[in-house]
Amino acid sequence: MASKLCEMLGIEFPLLAFSHCRDVVAAVSRAGGFGVLGATAHTPESVREELKWIDDHVDGKPYGIDVLVPENLATRGEGSVSAAALVRRIPAAHREFAEHLLAGAGVTIPDDASDRYRNRAQPFDPDTALRTLEAAFEHPIRLIANALGVPPPEMIAMGRKHNVPVAALAGAREHAVRLVEAGVDIIVAQGTEAGGHCGEVSTLVLVPEVVRAVRAIRDVPVLAAGGIMTGEQMAACMAMGAAGAWTGSVWLATPESETSPVFREKMVAARSRDAVRVRSRTGKPARQLRSTWTDAWENSPDSPGALPMPFMSLVSEKSLRAVDRAAENGNDQARDMVTYFVGQGVGLIEDVRSAGQVVQDFKEGYLEAVERMNALLGD
């Protein structure tokens, strides 16, 4: 496909795949798409290891990296804060509610679980994100992306220096305009149906809205995101002027992904309405699979409600990791609690396929959609 975006990224098929899992990133890029490693939970050391592995497995194909540098954190202005220090500031009500839910399902958190916070920065720490990006530039990355809000000036400067485009996600037209004005090179217009952090406007409305607004400022490619699980949906978004698709949830149903077999089975069984937009995992509205865990935090009369970012993740992540483990070991109540970020497109997932096969299916679905359009016009 001949387009500015394909030239910028060195690809032929503008299917971008966000994944926390290096196996997915490498497999997608090898198959002709563009893998983007979600490196939010990484440090400079760990990202070097991941990118080295990708370099060894990607057959020279291009790939990128994504961090999450939020504009608004409850700890803003406090400087460098450790995860361990934040854990001590979690209100008793929240800690106890999580403990109560786990105990009710017979799930225990291993004694050494809090060790992981000992030498760690706070979740979503901007300083760690920037140092991680710097380390990433030791590798041939072709894109850096910020998953939440306007990237800090240092991030845009890094992109310029290395001649690598900077992408950022927007959930509303006015956010996209701010991103373009800040110097972002690629806008990801992400609809409310997306997994993870998302706004309120649907992809079908947001994409043309953002394309129109961005075009009025300068020629910046807009990727469509939110709910896209098939090549037909990708074609739909490109019919509205998107330069390609940014995808996430579809890769969670691949065997290469970091998800557990239990979660993948739940994905296949889920309906689109089972992907709920709630604050109770990270502190900001994020779409994820409805489970007894999300129901309890959202609807139980005893729920203390969500804490702001970054505190909420310190309550939920450790607990949900223990839940995953218990579910894998056959605990049915834990299985009912298992949840993870996923978009409404989960209703379109019918089986677990390899990442390479998913790329192939996207290409075929895309072509079928274009053929369908031409057939309707009798061409």
Q: Which residues bind a second copy (CB under 8 A)?
A: 1-3, 172-174, 191-193, 199-206, 208-209, 212, 226-228, 230, 232-233, 235-241, 271-273, 343-345, 347-348, 367, 369-370, 372-374, 376-378
Q: How far is the CB of 231 from a second copy (least distance, A)?
A: 10
Tokens of 128: 């760690």
Is residue 19 within 8 Å of 38, Cβ to Cβ?
Answer: yes
Complex with a second copy: residue 185 or 193, whichever CB lies closer: 193
R_g of the chain, CA atoms, integer Å: 20
Residue 231's Cβ-count burial label (10 Å; 0-12, 13-18, 19+) is: buried
Complex with a second copy: residue 92 or 375, whichever CB lies closer: 375
Is residue 29 within 8 Å of 35, Cβ to Cβ?
Answer: yes
Q: How far is the CB of 93 from a second copy (least distance, A)?
A: 23
Complex with a second copy: residue 102 or 238, whichever CB lies closer: 238
Place of tokens 């031409």: 374
Q: How far is the CB of 373 from a second copy (least distance, A)?
A: 5
Complex with a second copy: residue 268 or 367, whichever CB lies closer: 367
Complex with a second copy: residue 159 or 191, whichever CB lies closer: 191
DSSP code for 341: B
C-alpha triplet 253, 258, 264: angle, nearest 5°: 30
Q: How far is the CB of 304 from a second copy (least distance, A)?
A: 21
3-state secondary structure of 288: strand
Cα gap 297→361, rounded to integer Å: 37
Complex with a second copy: residue 141 or 346, whichever CB lies closer: 346
Q: How far is the CB of 208 from a second copy (least distance, A)?
A: 6
Tokens of 81: 């804060």
Cα gap 95→84, rounded to integer Å: 14
Residue 301's Cβ-count burial label (10 Å; 0-12, 13-18, 19+) is: exposed
Cα gap 379→376, rounded to integer Å: 8
Cα gap 209→111, rounded to integer Å: 50
Handedness of CA 291, 292, 293, 299 (dihedral sign): positive
Cα gap 295→280, rounded to integer Å: 10
Q: How far is the CB of 244 from a second copy (least distance, A)?
A: 10
Tokens of 337: 């609690």
Q: How far is the CB of 362 from a second copy (least distance, A)?
A: 13
Q: How far is the CB of 24 from a second copy (least distance, A)?
A: 21
Phi, psi of 172 (to 5 degrees): -150, 150
Is residue 347 within 8 Å of 270, Cβ to Cβ?
Answer: yes
Q: How far is the CB of 213 from a second copy (least distance, A)?
A: 10
Complex with a second copy: residue 21 or 289, whichever CB lies closer: 289
Complex with a second copy: residue 12 or 127, whichever CB lies closer: 12
Complex with a second copy: residue 38 or 345, whichever CB lies closer: 345
Phi, psi of 341 (to 5 degrees): -60, 125
Q: How far is the CB of 210 from a second copy (least distance, A)?
A: 10
Complex with a second copy: residue 94 or 266, whichever CB lies closer: 266
